[in-house]
Structure 1
C-alpha cells in the first residue's frame, strides 16, 4: 500500500512526457491501433467463413496460434527483421495476438445460428448477403462482441511490450522501475494496466447492453 501511495502521490508522476496521463495516452494509442486493424481483418473474415463454411481451417489455425504464440518472442523476431525506430515491431505482435479471439468467436457466432432461422430467411426471398447481414450477424452479435472484448483486453494487457523496444506506454513504469529498483513504479504501472483492462471490460459490457437486442441476449 505504501508503494501505491508513493507512486500515485508523487506529483512528478502526473506531469511531463513521462507522466501518467501521457503514458496512458501512449498505451491507448498502441492498443487501439492494433485492435482496430485486427478487427477490420478478423470480423469480415469470420463472417465470411461462418456463412459459407469455406476456409474453416483458418479458424482452427488461428485458435491454435493464440494458444501457442509467445508474444515477447514474436516481438524480438520482428525487431530483428525490421529493426526499431517505428511502431511496427509492437503493432505486428499485438495484431497477431488480437486476431484469433475475434475470428474464432465471429465464426462460431455465425455458424451456431439455428439452421431453421437460415432456411426461413432464404424462404422469405433474402439473398446470401442479406441473410448474413440482416439475420445472422445480429443474432451472432453477442459472440462477436465477446471476441472483440477478449481481444481488446489481451491487447491492453500485452501492450506493455512496447517498453521493450524503447517506446512508451504504461510498460515504461514497469521496465524502468525494475531497472532502477523503483518498485513503487512497477506496482503503480501494473495497477494502471489492470484498471485500464477493467475499463475495457466495463465499456464492452455497456456496449453489449446498448447494441444487442434483449431477445438475442436472452437466447444466448
Structure 2
C-alpha cells in the first residue's frame, strides 16, 4: 500500500484527487498529513483537528471492476472498515451514526468524506477521506466529540491505526466485489446508532418529531418508523438525529 506523508496540506482528499488527475494511482494509495488546513466534512462542514495528534488521511480505490449500482455501499464498506479496525484496538461501544460518522460511547471520534468519480456512466473510483480523533484530549465547544485516548486512556501510534484501517478496507471492498450486499447491509445496520430505540429528530424546516430508526435503504436513505406506524425515508439533507 503506497503511503504519501505530508507535514501539512489543505485537504488530503483534494491532494489525492489532483494526483489521480495527473497520473495512474494504485489501489489503496494513502495520503496522510500531520496538519490539514482546510479539512472538509459532510455537506460542506469543516473538520478541525489538532496538528500531529490525530489521523487525517485519504485513500484511493478504483471501482471499475465493481458492479456498483448503489454508491452508498461504498459508505457502508468504509464505515465498517474503520469500526472493525478500532475494535481490534479494544475501543468500546462503537456505533455508526448514519450515514457514516463513527461513535464510541455515543461521542463522535471519526468523520468520513467519500468522493466518487463517474466515467462513461459508471463509478470509476473513490477517494475516501477520514478524520479520526486519536491522541487529542481537548475539544473546545464540541461536547459530542471524543478521541481514542479520552476513551481508552492510552496513546496510539497513528501509522499503526492507518495500516489497520487500510487492511480492513481491503477486506470489506472484497465483500463488495463479491456483491455480498446483504452481508454488508446487515452488519452495517447491526452497528447503527439508536437503531430500534425511540429517538428525537429535527427536519429541514426545524420541526422536532419522534421516531424509531429501523434500517437504511440501498440508496442510503434512513428508514424511520413514525408515531402513526408509517415508515418514512429521509435523506441526509432532510433530517438530523438529536441526541
Q: TM-score, normalised to structure 1's length?
A: 0.23
Q: Normalized per residue, which structure has more strand? A: 2
The higher relative CO (CA closer than 8 Å, separation ≥ 6) is in 1
Q: Which has the larger radius of gyration?
A: 1
Q: Normalized per residue, which structure has more helix? A: 1
